Amino acid sequence: IAVFLPLTMISGFSGIMFKQLGMSVTIVITVSIAAALTLTPMLASRIMKAQEKRFREEGNWVQRSINWVLTKLDNGYAHLLTFCTRHKLGVIVGATLVFLASLLLFPRIRVEFMPQSDNSRIKATIYLTNGARLEYTSTVVDQIEKQLKADIPEVNLLSTSYGSAGSNNLFAAFSSNGSNIINIDVGLVKPRFRSRSTNEISDQVRAILAQYPEIERMRVQANSGNGGGGTGTPTVDINVMGHDLDKMTAVAEALAAKMRSVEGVKDVDVQRDAYKREFDIQFDRERLALMGLNTATASQFVSHRIKGLVPTKFRENGKEYDVRVRYADEFRQSVEDIENITLYTKTGSPFKLREVATVRQIYTPPSIKRENRLRVVKVQCALQQASIDKVVDAVWKAVDEVEIPQEVSIGVGGTAKEQAESNSDLMQLLILVVILVYIVMASQFESFRAPFIIMLSLPFAFSGVLLGLWLTDNPLNMISIIGAIMLVGIVVKNGIVLVDYTNLLRERGYATMRAVVDAGKSRLRPVLMTSLTTILGMVPLAVSRGEGSEMWRAMGVAVIGGLTFSTFLTLLVIPTVYASFVGRSTVSNRRKQRRGLQKGNQGELEAKQ
């Protein structure tokens, strides 16, 4: 409970992902405790029967074989533990070196934010020359579609959209659209029916699109569509902030050129669209007043003639269609066409727009993005099998190599920023969990030393996590970090079993070394049993290859690796450290007693004299 209850209190993306997990596991553990304290003893008294002590030796061959193996294991462990307790310094130094050596694996493990799930979707956004006509775009789309279907046998569905959406179309607000922009959505067959991953197929899509000289830039995203929860294509965004768009764009282009050479970085894109043509209409207020109009009314008249007005609807077979009235295309293309737009006064007298306004053609950016009240130009880098921390290091290296004006600042966003925030939350969660677990154990043992000895098993659990991820080539991400945090509550159980029984034997009068060895020999089977049940329960999670299995596979690997590694080292290190601490404490107490007796004897002699 001390591990999973804090999960319900974290905020941000981590809280969204794991709050329900913490709440459900906390409830399950609470109910299981109640059942273990009430239902289990009652069922044991009713079902279990008393058996002779030698029933295993006198049972069938399977029982005798298992008992023989376990007995050999107990005796072998007792001999090994005796050796460790006689060479405490060597065991402790060796365990410390093993832990430090495991940290060397960290740079070799790929780091990502969330596991990328293979959902059989690839999305491509293609930008042709700005101002390309719709007919030209349609020809290019037909060629691309034919080649994708012919060259990629895994394609199951191909959906393409291009052209400008209407101003009243919701599609225009949530997607890049224009006569020169093509959006392609590729649906692949299920992963079990193909030998290549979506990342490999997306590389082929990029190679196909690179053959078209008409394409100015493109962005291909593997596993798009259901990228919710951070499972889509991870990105590192370089935010170039300032006030001068030209200087910012030059810096962004220079950084983009550097990032294109970084391994694992795909589709480096400067997210600033080309300037588009607009008509700037400046009304003369005095002339408008003479006509009996104001700027709002005149602007509305011009808008209706260019964008159109829907005065009615056409109904046919139960369906309705908007009837839009506006000037034909050929009468709203040039400055002269706009100047010749006819307006009317309140009395109905016609006049031309050029009589009351000045019309000029200008080029403006389609949009200006801001962050912290500063204009920002983003350089988006999509990652494919690349470690986020290494890409971020490459970003700052590129920043050092590029000459940046004083008024321009650089920041990192995208998935890298989300990862940094989530890692901070999870690190605080880990610290809180460790403190709570220590407090719970200290209150139960009524000692600060025993919980400290038990907590020494945690570093080896984290070493096992790194070793497991490295051996299975799984990345370190938020899911595997949650698995490592779960280990804090799982791993200490083994230490609690050993230390608690050792304390019990010492209370019965056993010497420290004998208590340590006998407790280890007696508690070996329960420790292995609890560890194996958890490990075997995580095996299906770690080896699953079905759809969506990538999401939780890292957690299974982390728990299996951490628990396996820590169990073997805990069985040796915890008893050794316990013997060392308690032995020193015993020696210290004996010295104090001797000094007390000596002082008492000296006092009696002085009194007699």
User: Would you state the pLDDT for residue 229?
Assistant: 47
| Cα(114)–Cα(418) distance, integer angstroms | 10
CA–CA separation, 340 vs 279, rounded Å?
A: 13
Model confidence pLDDT, tens digit, residues 524-561: 888 888 888 888 988 888 887 776 677 788 888 999 99
Q: List CB contacts of 270: < 8 A, sequence separation 6 or more.
A: 249, 252, 253, 256, 377, 378, 379
Average pLDDT over residues 313-334: 85
How many whole angstroms separate alpha carbon 181 and alpha carbon 128? 6
- Give CA–CA dist 573/499, Å, rounded: 12
Q: How many angstroms separate the CA atoms of 440 and 567, rounded?
A: 21
* Span 113-135, average pLDDT: 81
Percent of the chain having pLDDT more than 70? Answer: 88
Per-residue confidence at 232, pLDDT binned at 50, 70, 90? low
What is the secondary structure of 370-434 as a DSSP string? EETTEEEEEEEEEESS--HHHHHHHHHHHHHHS---TT-EEEEEEHHHHHHHHHHHHHHHHHHHH
How many CB atoms sit inside 10 A of residue 318's CB?
5
Arithmetic mean of pLDDT, 146-165: 84
pLDDT digits (tens, 9 = 90+) for 307-322: 888 888 888 888 888 8
Q: How far apart are CA 269 and CA 220, in angstroms?
A: 11
**31-35, 104-108, 173-177, 264-268: least confidently modelled range:** 173-177
Query: How confident is residue 228, by pLDDT bands cut at 50, 70 and 90?
Result: very low
* Distance separating alpha carbons of residues 234 and 224, to the nearest angstrom: 10
Residue with tokens 């610290």: 431
Fold of the domain spanning 276-364: 3.30.2090
Tell me: pLDDT of 421 over 70: yes
Check: pTM over 0.95? Answer yes or no: no
Residues 434-462: what's their mean pLDDT? 87
pLDDT digits (tens, 9 = 90+) for 184-222: 888 888 888 888 888 888 888 888 988 888 888 888 888
| CA pseudo-torsion sign 111, 112, 115, 121 | negative
Neighbours of 554 (CB within 10 A): 28
Q: What is the largest CA-CA distance in the chain?
A: 137
DSSP-derived 3-state class of residue 35: helix
Q: What is the Cα–Cα distance from 489 to 575, expressed in whole angstroms?
A: 19
Give the mean model confidence (pLDDT) for residues 5-17: 79
Q: Is the pLDDT of residue 35 over 80?
A: yes
Given a cut of 80, whether residue 116 has pLDDT beyond it is: no
Sorting pLDDT into bands at 50, 70 and 90, what band is 166? low
How does the average pLDDT of the chain come out, rounded? 82
Max mean pLDDT among 97-101, 117-121, 288-292, 577-581 falls in 97-101
Q: Which CATH number fits domain 56-111+420-590: 3.90.320.10, 3.40.250.10, 2.60.120.920, 1.20.1640.10?
A: 1.20.1640.10
Average pLDDT over residues 323-327: 88
The whole-angstrom separation of Cα 516 and Cα 571 is 11
260 Cβ contact list (under 8 Å, min separation 6): 268
* φ, ψ at 371 (rounded to 5°): -145, 125
- pLDDT for the residue 163: 73
As a whole number of angstroms, the distance between CA 577 and CA 85 comes to 8
Average pLDDT over residues 43-67: 70
Per-residue pLDDT band for 97 (boundaries 50, 70, 90) equals very high
Percentage, residues of the chain above pLDDT 90: 2
- pLDDT for 587 beyond 50: no
Candidate CATH numbers 3.40.1500.10, 1.10.10.10, 3.30.700.30, 3.30.70.1430; the one for domain 118-225: 3.30.70.1430
Residue 595: pLDDT band (50, 70, 90) is low
Mean pLDDT of 477-484: 87
The pLDDT value recorded for residue 560 is 92
Residue 113: is it exposed, middle or buried by C-beta count within 10 angstroms (0-12/13-18/19+)? buried
Q: What is the DSSP string of 158-217?
A: EEEEEEPPPTT-THHHHS--EEEEEEEEEEEPPGGG-SS-HHHHHHHHHHHHTT-TTEEE
Report angle CA 412, 413, 419 to the nearest 5 degrees.
105
How confident is the model at residue 226, as a pLDDT? 46
> What pLDDT is attached to residue 175?
57
The domains of the chain are located at 1-48, 56-111+420-590, 118-225, 276-364
Evaluate if residue 567 carries a pLDDT over 60. Answer: yes
Most confident segment among 158-167, 172-181, 383-392: 383-392
DSSP 284: -
Instruction: Tell me the C-alpha distance between 190 and 547, whole Å.
Output: 8
Dist. CA 137–CA 133, nearest whole Å: 6
Coil/strand/helix, residue 133: coil
